[in-house]
């Protein structure tokens, strides 16, 4: 069996026993990418020779020593492209530095290998918005993998990556994890440094993991989290050993079911998977009770005011002067700015910049942006009250399994609603993850669905503990299309 099919934990055991070398893993991954990427489209680029050279020099005694991890293409790695799925950066940008998350992984012995496709500047839930080509769902190549970390989820699901980094602004790790049948974790806001992550919405963005198992996620998080003085929002909090908590029983833990998350319109298979998951958790000794998060219905509208507002400011730096796409025929400096951005940005990015600029403009700031900030506070308070009664919250991750490519191309509002269950955790800054929980039958094919587990701020340990217990009891660990 190819080493590409193994989990991070199993590879670490084999590396420790000197049964394999890091270069062996790189070569098997490269073969898998060559075979599968033409149809799946998860990778934008990869450099086998450079990775093998680095692999031969790595210290396999380190906790992640010798394991390659694929990187979403909005996280900077020295000397590598960082396109953000956009024409404006695809032509000539190479990163001059490592993001803190990359330095953290290297310090643990991991090997960054390969750049993964994404919705342009992380704006989307399907990875159809990339200017560099679409990514497909390995379970059904006619369907989306989710987004914006669609390349990350698809690479792990197709066994062309052992593990991957993604970023999550409103569900961009968890939603594709659910649609591709892998584990996706968004840590507490500030748990992982954002230095070197190309910003979409700075108060919402968070780097996280996509892996084959909960154990693999915990192992990567051990070396991804930590305080960083280069990021003013980085939390100066101790980082527990996330992997050490796995395997403990969940008897007596209180699990909340938010009644607002079980709404009409959920695909029947998704609802059934959540109900089955609840029964599994109850059989393990957890206590389940209904809770209320009354401002849930304001989540999507709040997000689509705040996130575009922050994006309109963050993306102002892409002007074609210092780096990135530059128009060829500008007549003056204003024409240079306007034409470079018009040519470089795709339609979804333009839509959100326009929306963000509008809600921040004079006469509309109080009516939209300020009101959205107040709604965000109410959403956060809902969670604070709920967590006085329960230890974790369980819900669907996405309202439906993966839809067909192009199905929502002309319906952006419906596409935005794909994140209805994931957005609130970002607005509240809470840790949340998706775990495979079953399948839906669509067109004669099995499509994965996932459950979302939301934890208290800085309590990833309990969240991962519940996820691992469910994963082991359900038998849904390491699904393969």
Q: Domain containing 7 — which CATH number?
A: 3.90.1300.10
* Average pLDDT of span 14-23: 97
pLDDT of residue 384: 98
- Looking at 315-441, list the stretches that DSSP marks H as alpha helix, in order from N- to C-terminal side: 333-344, 347-359, 371-386, 412-416, 423-428
Total structural domains within the chain: 1
Q: How does residue 192 score in pLDDT terms, banded at 50, 70 and 90? A: very high
CB contact at 8 A, 197 and 100:
no
Arithmetic mean of pLDDT over the chain = 96
Its pTM stands at 0.97
- Is 445 an annotated catalytic residue? no
Contact 167, 150 (CB under 8 A): no
325 lies in a domain?
no
What one-character DSSP code corresponds to residue 177? H
Higher pLDDT, 64 or 414: 64
254-258 and 392-396 strand pairing: parallel
pLDDT of residue 262: 86
Exactly one of 148, 152, 154, 400 is catalytic; which is it? 148
Answer whether residue 155 is part of any domain: yes
CB of 223 within 8 A of CB of 239?
no
Share of the chain above pLDDT 70, in %: 100
**Residue 428 domain flag:** no
pLDDT over threshold 80, residue 293: yes
Is 451 a member of any domain? no
CA distances from 462 to 9, 181, 241 (A): 20, 22, 12
What band does 411 get if pLDDT is binned at 50, 70 and 90? confident
Residue 358 burial class via C-beta count within 10 angstroms: exposed 0-12, middle 13-18, buried 19 and up: middle
Measure the CA–CA gap between 94 and 373, rounded to whole angstroms.
Answer: 36
Active site residue 361: no
Whole-number pLDDT of residue 260: 94
CA distances from 373 to 60, 303, 419 (A): 47, 9, 19
Q: Single out the catalytic residue among 125, 155, 172, 340.
A: 172
Asked about 264 being catalytic, the answer comes back as no
Contacts for 291-294: CB closer than 8 Å, 24+ residues apart: 291/256, 291/257, 291/258, 291/259, 291/386, 291/389, 291/390, 291/393, 292/258, 292/259, 292/260, 292/382, 292/386, 293/258, 293/260, 293/261, 293/379, 293/382, 293/383, 293/386, 293/424, 294/260, 294/382
- Other residues' Cβ atoms within 10 Å of the Cβ of residue 48: 18
Range of the domain at 209: 3-254
What confidence score (pLDDT) does residue 409 get? Answer: 82
């Amino acid at each position: 069996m190819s080493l590409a099919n193994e989990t991070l934990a199993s590879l670490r055991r084999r590396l420790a026993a000197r049964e394999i070398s890091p270069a062996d893993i790189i070569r098997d991954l490269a073969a898998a990418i060559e075979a599968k990427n033409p149809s799946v489209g998860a990778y934008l680029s990869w450099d086998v020779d450079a990775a093998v050279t680095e692999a031969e020099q790595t210290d396999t005694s380190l906790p992640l020593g010798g394991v390659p991890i694929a990187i979403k293409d909005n996280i900077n790695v020295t000397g590598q492209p960082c396109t953000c799925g956009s024409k404006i950066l695809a032509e000539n940008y190479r990163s001059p530095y490592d993001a803190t998350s990359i330095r953290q992984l290297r310090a643990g012995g991991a090997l960054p290998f390969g750049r993964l496709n994404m919705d342009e500047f992380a704006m989307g839930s399907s990875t159809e918005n990339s200017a560099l080509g679409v990514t497909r769902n390995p379970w059904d190549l006619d369907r989306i993998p989710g987004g914006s970390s669609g390349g990350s989820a698809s690479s792990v699901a197709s066994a062309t990556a052992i593990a991957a980094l993604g970023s999550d602004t409103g569900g961009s790790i968890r939603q594709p994890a659910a649609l591709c049948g892998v584990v996706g974790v968004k840590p507490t806001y500030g748990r992982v440094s954002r230095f070197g992550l190309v910003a979409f919405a700075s108060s919402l963005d968070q780097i996280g993991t996509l892996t084959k198992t909960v154990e693999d996620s915990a192992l990567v998080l051990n070396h991804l989290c930590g305080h960083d003085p280069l990021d003013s929002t980085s939390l100066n909090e101790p980082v527990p050993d996330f992997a050490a908590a796995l395997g403990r029983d969940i008897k007596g833990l209180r699990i909340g079911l938010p009644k607002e998350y079980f709404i009409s319109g959920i695909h029947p298979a998704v609802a059934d998977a959540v109900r089955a998951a609840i029964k599994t958790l109850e059989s393990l000794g957890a206590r389940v009770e209904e809770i209320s998060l009354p401002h849930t219905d304001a989540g999507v509208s709040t997000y689509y005011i705040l996130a575009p507002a922050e994006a309109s400011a963050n993306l102002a730096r892409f002007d074609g002067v210092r780096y990135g796409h530059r128009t060829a025929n500008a007549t003056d400096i204003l024409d240079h700015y306007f034409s470079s951005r018009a040519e470089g940005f795709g339609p979804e990015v333009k839509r959100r910049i326009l929306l963000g600029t509008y809600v921040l403009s004079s006469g509309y700031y109080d009516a939209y942006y300020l009101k959205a900030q107040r709604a965000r506070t109410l959403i956060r308070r809902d969670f604070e009250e709920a967590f006085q009664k329960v230890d974790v919250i369980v819900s669907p991750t996405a309202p439906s399994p993966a839809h067909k490519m192009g199905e929502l191309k002309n319906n952006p509002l419906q596409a935005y609603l794909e994140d209805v269950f994931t957005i609130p955790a970002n607005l509240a800054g809470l840790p949340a993850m998706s775990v495979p929980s079953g399948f839906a039958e669509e067109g004669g094919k099995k499509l994965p669905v996932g459950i979302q587990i939301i934890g208290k701020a800085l309590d990833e340990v309990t969240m991962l503990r519940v996820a691992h217990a469910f994963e082991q009891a359900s038998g849904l660990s390491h699904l393969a299309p």
